[in-house]
Amino acid sequence: MFKVFVTRAIPEEGLNLLRKYCEVEVSPYDRMLTKEELLEKVQGKNAVITQLTDKVDKEFFEAAKEVKIVANYAVGFDNIDLEEATRRGVYITNTPDVLTNATAELAWALLFATARRVVESDKFMRAGKFQSWAPMLFLGKGVTGKTLGIIGAGRIGQAFAKMAKGFDMKILYTARSPKKEFEEETGAQYVDLDTLLKESDFVSIHVPLTPETRHLIGEKELKLMKKSAILINTGRGPVVDEKALVKALKNKDIYAAGLDVYEREPLFEEELAQLDNVVMLPHIGSATEEARRDMSILVAQNIIDVIEGRVPRTLVNK
């Protein structure tokens, strides 16, 4: 019988679907597996459902000799050695679309939390410091009518931009090539990265992590941003040079940052936690009940596709 290993529990909807077709073993631990545990568990399995915290590298494939598909429970797949998988004829799939709105919505949550100093204000209330309404208490930045810069106009970047409609914003974007339909729908303008950084009041990162995008935003780029601008990152941590970001936030080279991802997760530059002008979340971009349920169904469907002899529907190593 076709055997599937799931490296960490995911919503039951997908697992129940899979159980109709194959044998499913789920890691009993509510934590990331160690490398040794992972390599032991994947032996003899025909499919593995991995998390973005699992390294799927040469050693993984050496251990998982029977594996036909690795279904990553994420839209990003920078944890996977795609070339090695392709060389070995292993399908790699991801979970696009089903988490688009959830992640775009979280980018907005960070944008408002930083612009309107929501977390600082909440801390203030809990500390019992609220004495009276005050004209200068927690002044933040307005959003309506401002310029929104989107780095990477893929599915999530575009959804994030479309959500700006009600705020009457001017939208600038970078992408590998201009996206005509997107421009028609949102009035977005295709610009180069420097222009976007110089002109935007809010800069939101939506590119995948690749060798080209690692440290795309470093000291030089942060200096190009307005002192009043806010940087939002719900993509991948290493796209931003975190040390340079700390420096920029400390020096007030930018106004604030809203982060859901970090350079060395689960670690982050300790100084970030000392700064009031940063809001930090524990990589929860796709963490809605709906998105995580639909992600579980999609990883299952990809595996069922393989069991039934089809090419999996969201294959990334075509």
Active site residues: 236, 265, 283
Question: Hey, which bits of the chain come out as E strands?
Answer: 3-6, 23-26, 47-50, 69-72, 91-93, 147-151, 170-174, 189-190, 202-205, 230-233, 256-259, 278-280
Residue 218 within binding range of ligand DGY, rule CB under 6 A: no
Measured distance CA(171)–CA(191) in Å, rounded: 10
The count of chain residues that interact with ligand DGY, using the rule CB under 6 A, is 8
Measured distance CA(150)–CA(27) in Å, rounded: 38
Residue 286 within binding range of ligand DGY, rule CB under 6 A: yes
**Complex with ligand DGY: residue 265 or 271, whichever CB lies closer:** 265
The stretch near ligand DGY (CB under 6 A) out of 69-77, 116-124, 174-182, 299-307 is 69-77
Task: Give the DSSP H/E element, type plus range, for residue 6.
Answer: strand 3-6
Residue 99 within binding range of ligand DGY, rule CB under 6 A: yes
Does residue 266 have a cis peptide bond before it, meaning omega lies within 30 degrees of 0? yes
CB of 288 to ligand DGY, least distance (A): 10
For residue 213, what are its two tokens?
């995008």
CB of 52 to ligand DGY, least distance (A): 6
Measured distance CA(142)–CA(318) in Å, rounded: 44
Residue 174 within binding range of ligand DGY, rule CB under 6 A: no
Query: Which positions from 27 to 56 touch ligand DGY by CB under 6 A, shown as an x/- string?
Result: -------------------------x----
- Which positions lie near ligand DGY, rule CB under 6 A? 52, 74-76, 99, 283, 285-286
